[in-house]
Amino acid sequence: MLPTLRLLSLLCAALLVAPAAWAQEAQIRKNLAERLPNLPKIDEISKTPIPGLYELRIGQDIVYADEQGNYLIQGNLIDTKTRTDLTEARINKLTAIDFASLPLKDALVMKQGNGSRKLVVFGDPNCGYCKRFERDLAKLQDVTIYTFLYPILGADSNAKSRDIWCAQDNAKVWRAWMVDGVTPPKAMGKCDTAALDRNVEFGRKHRVQGTPAVVFEDGTRVPGAISLDALEKNLAAAAKKS
């Protein structure tokens, strides 16, 4: 009998909390709509670990507000205990990339060793960090690297990406340029470069805002260049999850 009474008590408590939470959300929406009429539609409101602070999801963007909507905060929420960027983690979840759905036909493919492990890299041929990162990628064993040419640094990036993509052995030409500074041969004649446009469109859709950007087989995303040790750790973690 006692367990049944406890269950009923918990249910009643939940029913009391639900309207309060709904009213709080309604208050935030009402005040912001009245005071900031140009603010885009709020898709979702949820509590944060900080009492009285709420997360507002607007599409794939995150902002924060107090419980009345009197204040709106733009910026990243950091958990200092774990040194975790909670805002970045949330956005990464919202923009997660399903590895199986990646259009790998639009990528350069480099198989090293048996190629059993897999990762994706978005890279710009004029990105200095990408060039340093490529040296570490070349040291990996038993991995297949799919590189999406992502020319976002200017007109020359577009030109170099075209030359690389149109080369007979484009993966080899990419690495020779990135690691050894060997200028890609100029693309001659007709060459279908629609893949480059698709790469940029795909990257923007998934908020790939800089290069290099790495996607591991379990969908984990890492912005920026990481060390060889970190690469190995992420590859091992991805293998356990898959």
**Residue 241: predicted pLDDT:** 75
What tokens appear for 178 in the block? 């990135």
Domain assignment present for 4: no
**DSSP secondary-structure letter at 206?**
T
Q: Identify the pLDDT of residue 183.
A: 96
Describe the strand order of the beta sheet including 53-58 as a list of residue ranges.
44-47, 53-58, 61-66, 72-73
Contact by Cβ (8 Å): 161, 196:
yes
Same domain assignment for residues 108 and 87:
no
* Cα(218)–Cα(113) distance, integer angstroms: 21
Q: For residue 218, which of 237, 193, 198 has the smallest C-alpha distance?
A: 237
**Which residue among 94, 117, 144 closes a domain?**
94
Position 18 scores a pLDDT of 52
Residues 67 and 118 occupy one common structural domain: no
Region 227-232 average pLDDT = 94
Q: Mind listing the pLDDT tens digit for each residue in 31-45?
A: 999 999 999 999 999
Classify residue 90: in a domain, yes or no. Answer: yes
Residues 68 and 134 in one domain: no
Which has the minimum average pLDDT: 132-136, 183-187, 208-212, 222-226? 222-226
Residues 224 and 106 in one domain: yes
Place of tokens 């800089």: 210
Do the domain assignments include residue 34? Answer: yes
Q: 79: domain CATH number?
A: 3.10.450.70
pLDDT tens, position by position, 83-128: 999 998 888 788 778 899 899 999 999 999 999 999 999 999 999 9
pLDDT tens per residue across span 179-199: 999 999 998 888 999 999 999
Q: Are residues 85 and 105 in the same domain?
A: no
Q: Which of 111, 102, 152, 182 is nearest to 161 (CA)?
A: 152
Domain boundary residue among 94, 113, 148? 94
On whether both 117 and 204 belong to a single domain, the answer is yes
Report the predicted TM-score, pTM, of the whole model to 2 decimal places: 0.73
Phi, psi of 196 (to 5 degrees): -65, -40
Residues 77 and 189 in one domain: no
Residue 204 lies in a domain: yes
Residue 2 has a pLDDT of 44
Domain that holds residue 70: 14-94
Q: Is 73 in contact with 38 (CB distance < 8 Å)?
A: no
H or E segment to which residue 181 belongs? none
pLDDT of 23 above 70: yes
Q: pLDDT tier at 139 (50, 70, 90 boundaries)?
A: very high
In a domain? residue 61: yes
- Assign 66 to helix, strand or coil: strand
* Average model confidence (pLDDT) across the chain: 90
pLDDT of residue 44: 94
pLDDT grade, residue 20 (50/70/90)? low
Domain-embedded: residue 1: no
Q: Is residue 176 part of a domain?
A: yes
Q: Average pLDDT of 59-70?
A: 93
**Same domain assignment for residues 83 and 137:** no
Helix segments in 36-154, DSSP class H: 86-94, 128-137
Measured distance CA(242)–CA(225) in Å, rounded: 23
Nearest to 109 by CA among 170, 156, 188, 65: 170
What's the domain count of the chain? 2
Q: Are residues 120 and 208 in the same domain?
A: yes
Residues 79 and 158 in one domain: no
- Pair 89, 109 in one domain: no
Q: Is 222 found in the same domain as 116?
A: yes
